Structure 1
Amino acid sequence: MPPTEKNVTVNRAALGHRITYALRHPDRVPRHVARAARDMWLRHRHPDHIAYYRAVMRSDTRTDPDAAVGSRSRERWLALGAMQFDYLLGHGLRPEHRMLEIGCGNLRGGWRFIRHLEPGHYYGVDISPDILAAAQDTIVEMGLQRRLPALTPVRDLTLRFLPDAHFDVVHAHSVFSHSPLHVIEECLANVGRVLTPDGWFDFTFDRTEGEEHHVLREDFYYRTDTLVALAAKHGLQARFMDDWEKLPHGQSKIRVTRPAEPQPPQPS
């Protein structure tokens, strides 16, 4: 499949863009208005972003768990999961690795990771108990009970209940695209602690080369430099994954690692 063409200059929150989009897609206006009204009510009830987005996920999951994680159809759900899995497999994921998936959802990619990894080596967390119930359904559907995956609801991204230097791979697909900067920083401030020295953290994000913005406080658009600098602030090295851009996916990807430990001087 050809790569997805990304429009990284448009500001989707700008009034002009919204009017133009509505004129081009009038059939989508009623759905957008209904979603905006729902989100306004949920933000009123839940001022904290994570509590707000947990409520969004509860609402979306009750309608369709696949759509709640951003897949328009079951076929797209399977295709996006395969894309995530194939990419990590081609970038070093091995069965003996221990993997933490942040925002694991209903295991769109996770069920493939669970099947590939050794039993007990997959740990999924999500802010939504409702989507984790759907994840349990996926485990049953795919016959993965004996792989013993762990699924845990979380209130934040501090990861404080997880052990030091435990995970070889941390993965967050389509999580930071729904997160304000302070939530992303909370994750980056803590993820280095749970990574092994040679481990890595891959995350996707909605990229813009213009003004950073959000739509309905559901979708957030960031410049690459912003996230790279935020990782550096917390002692992590980050690089933009150019080869991900060749894939048919609308988001971009960054890989974060711990800096190499200095080697002791060799005796002369």
Structure 2
Amino acid sequence: MTRTRSSLAHQITYALKHPARIAPHLRRLARDTWLRLRTDDHVSYYRAVMRHDTARDPGGAVGSHNQRRWLAMGRMQFDYLVEHGLKPECRMLEIGCGNLRAGHLFIGYLHTGNYYGVDISPDILLAAQDTLAEHGLQDRLPHLTPVRDLKFAFLPDEHFDVVHAHSVFSHSPLEVIEECFAHVGRVMKPSGWFDFTFDRTEGKEHHVLREDFYYRTETLVALAARYGLKATFMEDWERSPHKQSKIRVTR
């Protein structure tokens, strides 16, 4: 939690321990540099990253490079939310729904029409449609919508009981997270809650290749408070096999 993965010392040590990963890292560095030069902001840049990754492997684009891992990560997210208050009658907004790794379970569990998935990547949403068909969930009528930002301007006030974002803020600079905090409270019911994961550090906050961002817990708690949101660190999530941490936000 205290390592700075962007430091030269860490990169040299990691390369010596994992020499087979040097070439893939250099390819990723070249790809990311090229995409940053061709885009004007972080969301546009990461949309291009997702387009590239989805074309190669939709599961890999959301961090699961085999079907067993994809299913396990989706089940972990689903079980945690059900254990912590998600009911079939809830209206749920999933930010960064991807190709429905967890979404296919939420859709099958929630009442018809109660799942709303948004993503900045139209390409991964096409893969999400394939997931719906593969799992026979067409009659659940989920809403899948591409977005250009996290302002949620097209969504109604106080509509959602639950908002969920898994592995979204781990790829987001602070200004994108702040935009979400500034607007998510409007679409949440007064009794609603917003769970999100993030890459936690107890040392210096940093990023790797503008793709992976590491934040201190107190930074995100204070940023949420600036917009009238109470943020609680979810200690029990730390026992999960996932490497990221989780915070729950309420109005």
Q: Which amino acid aligns with 2:57?
A: D
Distance in 2 separating the partners of 1:38 and 1:247: 32
Q: Give me the whole-angstrom Cα distance separating, in 2, the residues matched to 1:123 and 1:171.
A: 10
Cα distance in 1, alignment partners of residues 26 and 178 from structure 2? 31
Partner of residue 126 from structure 1, selected from 86, 106, 119: 119
**Equivalences for residues 235-250 of structure 1 within 5 A:** 235-250=228-243
**Partner SS for 1:61:** helix
For 1:1-268, list aligned pairs within 5 A.
Answer: 8-258=1-251
- Aligned-CA RMSD value: 0.4
Moved over 2 A (4+): none
Distance 1:121 1:47 in 2: 35
- Determine the C-alpha separation between the residues in 2 that align with 1:46 and 1:22: 29
The TM-score, its normalising length taken from structure 2, stands at: 1.00
Supply the AA of the counterpart residue of 2:99: N
Query: 1:13 and 1:28 mapped to 2: Cα distance?
Result: 16
Distance in 2 of aligned mates of 1:24 and 1:204: 28
Q: 1:37-92: per-residue Cα shift (whole Å, max 9, x none)? A: 00000000013000000000000000000000011211111000000000000001
In 2, the alpha carbon distance for the partners of 1:176 and 1:110 equals 18
Work out the CA distance in 2 between the residues paired with 1:15 and 1:257: 39
- C-alpha separation in 1, matches of 2:45 and 2:246: 25
Q: Residue 183 of structure 1: CA displacement?
A: 0.1
Bigger Rg over Cα: 1
CA distance in 1, matches of 2:198, 2:65: 19
Structure 2 residue ranges without an equivalent (≥5): none
Structure 2 CA distance, aligned partners of 1:40 and 1:74?
30
Higher relative contact order (CA 8 A, sep 6+): 1
Q: Describe the SS at the equivalent of 2:117.
A: strand
Separation in 1, partners of 2:22, 2:192: 44
Q: Deviations over 1:6-56 (max 9, x none)?
A: xx0100000000000001000001000000000000000013000000000
- Of all paired residues, the percent bearing the same amino acid is 72
SS at match of 1:146: helix
User: Aligned to 1:107, what secondary structure does the other structure show?
Assistant: coil
How far is the alpha carbon of 1:98 from its aligned partner? 0.1
Q: Which runs of 5+ in 1 are unaligned?
A: 1-7, 259-268
Matches of 1:131 and 1:250, distance apart in 2: 23
Quote the Cα distance in structure 2 between the aligned partners of 1:189 and 1:226.
15
